[in-house]
Each structure stands twice: as structure tokens, then as C-alpha cells.
Structure 1
Amino acid sequence: MPEGHTLFRLAQHLQLPFADRPVHVTSPQGRFDAGAALLDGRVLDEVFSYGKHLFARFGADHLHVHLGLYGTFLTGSGTPPVAKGALRMRWVGDGPDGGGVWGDLRGPTACEVLPAPEVERILDRLGPDPLRPRADGALAHRRIAGSRTAVGALLMDQSVLAGVGNVYRAELLFRHRVSPFRPGKAIGAELWAGMWRDLVTLMRSGVRMGRIVTTRPEDRSRRSGAVRREDAHYVYRRTGLPCRICGTPIRTEVMVGRNLYWCPVCQAV
């Protein structure tokens, strides 16, 4: 499932070519015909993300998209490709230079038109998003510190923290040597403050790079040049491989429906 940095980046990629101009909206697949008819030809005011949710505002109406596990929203310039398969929604616009732009949405969990109060209800049930200006990391800590649930599960709870997924969960916990099985109430304010600052930095880097890289240069097999895929993470998808710090095989098990990765030595309970 795309994590928060992907949605933030997608919002930027849609904002520049489509905002402040009319957008031709269709549903080649037919499943979004009614919503497309409401938005077609209207001026797009803005596109923004919050956590794993994407919103596009057309006057009083908002398009709400959640990509889920399989959704994609691809953009391009010029003439759009021939519509094939399960294409839920297509945007076509003139672009800032009049050259033509398009966007194709496939396989989302949610694609719906909502009034502003419904958007507010969605936002109200989400925790702070580290990529949003003035996000309150202390609010996330109050929810974490008030729970006996394992912190590895809490970090995946979007009502606690919006935008964090399986990769950021595993890597953030490793970088701070925190066992994913430690109860939330055992995460002190000072520890969390450092984790929050680190998370903000990592997610902003993800926006810039278009990928998640969490390793420090000194912990990679190659310390200069582009970061290779096998060097990008400390524990994520490294089951059985030696820990980059202590050499212990990385372990995995399922937690809240997703594979959890950790080092049993560096992240001892």
C-alpha cells in the first residue's frame, strides 16, 4: 500500500498541470459515471493529501481517493493512451502550456465525490500527518502513551498517525532501537520526540526522492553514489539476512495483518 510520501508527491504532480483550469472527467470503466458527471468541466481548485488519502477540490465538492493496496494514479502529457481495462477515472486538461495532460486512476479502494463536511469527518478521525505543516507529534504520543497495545501495531493505526505504513513502521523502530512489541505506554515523551523528528525527515526525503531510503551512508555496502535497492533499508524485507549493525538474522512475523520486520538483538524487548 502506498505510504504518505507517495500520496503527498502524487498531489504535487496533479496540482501543477491541472489546478486552476477546467478538467474533463470521465469513467471509462463506468463505475464512477455519476461522480464524473458531477465534476466534468469544472475548475480544479486544489489537490492535497492527508496521510494515505488524496483530495481534489472542485468548488464545494471534493473528490476523495484512497488507493488501497492496488490503486494507481498515473499522469502524462500529450494525447492520453487508449482507455483499456478497469480504468475507474480519467482526467484530461489543457495543462499550463496548453499542450495537454491526462491522469488515469485504476483499482482504488475509494473514489467518491464528497461535500466539505464529509471531508472534515474523514480528517477528524485521522492522526497527525508528519508531512503536513504544523502537524502535532505530541498528539500522536498522547494516543500511543495511553495504550497498552504494541507500538508496532499503533504506528500502523491511521487514527494514531496518518501516512505511516509497513516500511516506515519497521525502519523507524529499528533506527531508534525500539522493539515493535514494546507497549505504547512504555514509549516516553523524549524518545517519541526523537522518533517524530526522524519520521518527518525520512518522509520528506521520501517525497524528494520518490522512494524510501532509511539507511545511513556508513551502514551501506556502497557509501557513495546512488543508493541501491538492497542498501535502502535496515530490516524491511530482509528476513534471514544479517542485521547491518549486529549481524543477527532479521526476523519477521505478522502484526496487524502485515509482515513485521525487526532485529531481535538491536530491538530487544
Structure 2
Amino acid sequence: MTADDHQNHTQHDLILFYQGRLLLNGDSPVWPSARFTGLEAFVMCRVHVTALASDQLPYDALQLSHLPPELDDIEPTPVREFLVHQGFDAFILAGRASQLLNWFDSHRYCGRCGSPTHLVNPQRVLSCPQCEVDYYPRINPCVIVLITRGDQILLARSVRPGATFFSCLAGFIEPGESAEQAVAREVLEEVGVEVDNIRYVKSQPWPFPSQLMLGFYADYVSGDIVPEAAEIAEAHWYDVDKLPQIPSPAISVAGQLIQEYCDAVIASTD
């Protein structure tokens, strides 16, 4: 890093992480750089994070090796906990920072020859000086689908420990698949039913660590619910006015798909 680069870095506001967790400035993930002295001694890696608004300056996201004296009294916050408490709009910037730091950390060495990579700015690319391979931030596309049957929807609960809410079905798109093909396959694999009229609704970045969720509705065609035991603890049909605990619409596209469909059905019957 040159002296000019260092000067430019210190002019940006900061988003700070320690052991993969956020260091919050009150309720905000943003810290003024002028708050700190000698912070470079604690920096493991640094990436630029651009804001969604074009009139805002970029931020610097830093992964710290230790907490500097200015942060001794700050308890690191899990990224997912910040999302739950603050909602997705407040989370977007911290989510982008978390995703970029994860990319940086997982590509510190070239996958072809094992040489250390270096960050090329402002292109946001990690480059191998030996075999000249470039590594860009990776996004993993996933489908998430709400299966509908008139005034009923199919919701499932994951086998993950602590999973108490019911949600849509989701899965990664496999090589060679379209998103619609992935929806049909995932539904058949996870609950044993067939669907059609698969239609895209909306998307959401989901940096845990680097997913892009593509949200769909799909109509039930046939089959009895048979949960895939390795992934689904239970799955049932629910009336739109008698739902179990579902994800918050303020947090996830799953909650939005459920809420918007149920609201539309209920409004149509009033």
C-alpha cells in the first residue's frame, strides 16, 4: 500500500469486524476513521465497500486481528443478529462488507498454484502474480419458492438446530439448470410434490456467506408431502389465515413471499 493509498483509506468511514462479527457504533455499523489512532496495526484485511447511493463515498471494511483500545468496551455482534434486530434495509451495507471480507479471506491464496494473491484496486479483484489468474467476488444463486394451492400454502421447518419457524423451500441452482428447473427439482426432492406455473417474484442478496436468493411462486400439481429427512423436519399445508411462526417480512424474501401472497388471498375474499 502506498502513502497515497493509505491517506485515501483513512478518509473513508469504516465498517469494522472482529472474528467475523460486527463492531457497532451504537446501532450503526459505520465508524468515522478520525475516531482511531494507530488502527493499521490491528488490520488483517481491508476492502472497499461502495454504497448503493451514487452520491455517497465508499467505506472501508476492516477485519481486525485484535480490538484496539478505543473498542475495548464494545461487544462484537453476530452479523445475523444485527439483521434480525435492525431489519434488512439497515443491514445492506454491513452485509455487503461481510460478503467482501469473506471473499477476501477465502481467496488469499491462488486455487491453481497456491501463491498468495494481492488485491487490485479499484477493480475489486484478487490477482495471482504467478499464474495471472484473477478472482472476483463470487455470488451463489439460490431459488426460494412458496408453493400455493388456492388459499393454502406449503411451509416447512428445517432440521437445523434451533429452527422453530416455518418457511419456503430453498436450494442452490446446480450447474446447467435454469432457475425454474431448480425450483421444480428442489420441491420434488425436499417434499415430494410436483409444481407448475413457476413464476419469478423478487430477489434478495443474502450474505451468509454469499447467496443471491431468487424468489418464486409455484402452483401445486400433485403428490403427497414426504419430507426429505436430511433437510426437512416437517412440512404441512396451512390456510393463509392460520399460519405458524414465519420469517419476518422485514428481514427476508421468504417472509415477503408468504405475507404478500396471504394478504392478496385474504383481500380477494373480503
TM-score range, shorter chain: under 0.3
Q: Counting strand residues as a fraction of each chain, which structure ranks higher?
A: 2
**TM-score, normalised to structure 2's length?**
0.24
**TM-score, normalised to structure 1's length?**
0.24
Work out which of the two has the higher radius of gyration on C-alpha atoms and give 1 or 2.
2
